[in-house]
Amino acid sequence: MKSHGFCFAYCVMLEDDPNIPAIAKYFNTKGRYEEVNPYLREDILAVNRSILQPPSEECQQIHLTAIIRHGTRYPTTKNIKEMQQLYNIILHNASGEQSWLRELQTQWTMWYTEDMDGRLVQKGVNELKHLAVRLSKLFPSLISEEKLRGGFIKFITSSKHRCVNSTLSFKAGLTEHWNIKDMEFDHAVNDALMRFFDTCTRFVEEVDNNPSAVTEVDTFKQGPEMRRVQQKIADHLNIPYSLITYDMAEAAFYLCAYEFAIKSVKSPWCQLFDEDDAKVIEFASDLREFWKRGYGHDINSRASCILFHDVFNRLDKVAAQNMSGQQVAEAVTVQIGHADTLLPLLTLLGFFKDSEPLTSTNFATQAHRSFRTSHMMPYAANLILVLYDCGGGDLRLQPLLNEKPVTFPGLTDRASMPLYRDVLEHYKDLLQGCNFETECQVFKQPAED
């Protein structure tokens, strides 16, 4: 944890916390933010401003854009149905003397109901409140009471209830922190930006609704590594192998993950897996994200062009206002969406690209892959872009992912805070050529006579 000096002493200790499942670091997009930033387990409002390190003391922060995934949510209806099915197998088919199995059969109850369907949970509310306070401590000149009251902080959200409620929670984090009771602050719902994947016809037809786009995922699910995991679960439960399909193995994994994310409980469901099993299920999930949201198909990331342009148009406007001596009208923009919003944008920007694509046959050689959603996309994951004026027209842009500085891929000069003009030059092909309407058009072959 080199980016957090205050973490040295106890981060090693935290690794062996008996209340945390050993497999928690493999929970993909169902993971807790605290697994990505373990220092927050000790102090949920901890920040370390020394990570920012502008090149000179003259550098002033003039704008911040934060693109944030919603907080912890309940499972979707589809997942809940599969969990119910697995729970019935445990109740009616499983046998054995293990204490965790007896606990599942006699004490644990299936408390998830289908109407929960992906709604934000209390933990998710808290995550966004805490994130808001931490960002106000990291960037006090931008995320300030004065800027909020003055209308310089804008909020944009996806229309999904979990995102709207995450936006309300982020705002509440600030208003409670500053004890603001005499004002309320608006947000705009914008699905064109935050749910671009719904309106990009080419993505919907060629990837989202096209089973052949994810053949690598299906092949891996039916392959030897996954079959071994399913058989081990069946052996633990003393039931026929045929009862534990991939969906049932995934449901058990999700039950362990959700019980931990929602209630901070190390549940008996986790006993069905060791770390080797978790790595296989993590890879299956990463494969799906890779082929549906990541580098697997170009349209996955190019569908996010509309959000990419939104961000850079805003940065350009801020740069122009700043250059002409005007006050920056939009000091902070907070945009709240989904993993499916953030992952394509990170892919478009070139983050987490491995030399080889993820496939059904390279689980073993991809053990140290960069493309790992457990590390980059927990609940409340965030990409933050901070524009600095370092004097004499020297603008710089600092990217942070989950509150840690990262480097724009391919830009190594002044690694974590390159010149803004160098960033524009680096992405000029996208800035000039990535047009949402053009990218998302489907060109139908003319019907033959």
Q: Are 269 and 249 in contact (CB under 8 A)?
A: no
In this structure, the strands spanning 332-337 and 382-389 are: unpaired
Contact at 8 Å (CB) between 117 and 76?
yes
End-to-end CA distance of the chain: 65
Q: Are 171 and 156 in contact (CB under 8 A)?
A: no
- Is the Cβ–Cβ distance between 297 and 206 less than 8 Å? yes
Q: Give the pair of three-digit tokens for residue 274.
A: 């060791």
Neighbours of 69 (CB within 10 A): 27
Instruction: Point out the catalytic residue in the list 4, 63, 70, 236.
Output: 70
SS3 assignment, position 308:
helix
Q: Which residues pair with 430 in a beta bridge?
A: none
From the list 340, 352, 356, 359, the residue with the least C-alpha distance to 300 is 340
Give the whole-angstrom CA distance, residue 128 versus residue 67.
12
Token digits for 65? 């854009």
Rounded-to-integer distance, Cα 363 and Cα 126, Å: 36
Amino acid at 363: F
**Sign of the CA dihedral 201, 206, 208, 210?**
positive
Q: Confirm whether 236 is a catalytic residue.
A: no
Closest CA to 60 of 368, 297, 388: 388
Residues annotated as catalytic (active site), given as ranges = 70
